[in-house]
Amino acid sequence: MNIENINTLGELVKSGYKSKSIKDELRENLISKMMSKETVFKGIHGYENSVIPELERAILSKHNINLLGLRGQAKTRLARLMVNLLDEYIPVVEGSEINDDPLNPISRFAKELINEKGDETPIYWLHRSERFAEKLATPDVTVADIIGDVDPIKAANLKLSYADDRVIHYGMIPRANRCIFVINELPDLQARIQVALFNILQEGDIQIRGFKLRLPLDMQFVFTANPEDYTNRGSIVTPLKDRIGSQILTHYPEDIETAKTITKQETDKASAQKEFIQVPELARDLLEQIVFEARESEFIDAKSGVSARLSITAFENLLSTAERRALLSGDSKTMIRLNDFDGIIPAITGKVELVYEGEQEGAQVVAETLIKNAIKTLFPTYFPEIKKLEKQSAETPYDDIISWFFNADEDFELLDEHTEQEYKNELDKITPLNAFLEKHQPNMNTVDGYFVKEFILWALVEFKKLSKHRFAEGTQFRDPYGNFMSGL
Q: What is the pLDDT of residues 378-436, one digit of tens each?
A: 999 999 988 765 566 668 899 999 999 988 878 899 998 899 999 999 999 999 999 99
- Is the model's pLDDT at 231 over the cut of 50? no
User: For 306-352, how does the pLDDT look when each residue is reduced to its tens digit (9 = 90+)?
Assistant: 998 999 999 999 999 999 999 999 999 999 999 999 999 999 998 89
- Is the model's pLDDT at 157 over the cut of 80? no
Closest CA to 165 of 114, 121, 207: 207
User: For 365-377, how does the pLDDT look when each residue is reduced to its tens digit (9 = 90+)?
Assistant: 999 999 999 999 9
Mean pLDDT of all residues belonging to the chain = 88
List phi, psi (to 5°) of 125.
-110, 125
The pLDDT of residue 160:
66
Residue of 75 and 205 predicted with greater confidence = 75
According to DSSP, the residues that pair with 139 across neighbouring strands are none
- Is the model's pLDDT at 139 over the cut of 90? no
Which amino acid belongs to residue 465?
K
The pLDDT of residue 484:
44
- Is the model's pLDDT at 190 over the cut of 50? yes
* Helices of type H across 331-398: 345-349, 356-361, 363-382
The pLDDT of residue 154:
67
Q: How sure is the predictor about 159, in pLDDT bands with cuts at 50, 70 and 90?
A: low
d(CA 99, CA 8): 15
The pLDDT of residue 115:
95
User: For 237-278, how does the pLDDT look when each residue is reduced to its tens digit (9 = 90+)?
Assistant: 888 889 999 999 999 999 999 999 999 999 987 777 788 999
User: For 2-54, how does the pLDDT look when each residue is reduced to its tens digit (9 = 90+)?
Assistant: 777 899 999 999 999 999 999 999 999 999 999 999 999 999 999 999 999 99
- Is the model's pLDDT at 230 over the cut of 70? no
- Is the model's pLDDT at 155 over the cut of 80? no
pTM reported for the whole predicted model? 0.86
What average pLDDT does the segment 292-308 reach? 91
What average pLDDT does the segment 143-148 reach? 83
Burial 45-76 (b: 16+ CB within 10 A, else e): bbbeeebbebbbebbeeebbbbbbbbbbbbbe
The DSSP letter of residue 64 is -
- Is the model's pLDDT at 236 over the cut of 90? no
CA distances for 299 relative to 128, 192, 295, 344, 364, angstroms: 45, 37, 10, 18, 12
User: For 343-352, how does the pLDDT look when each residue is reduced to its tens digit (9 = 90+)?
Assistant: 999 999 988 9
d(CA 372, CA 199): 54
User: For 387-403, how does the pLDDT look when each residue is reduced to its tens digit (9 = 90+)?
Assistant: 765 566 668 899 999 99
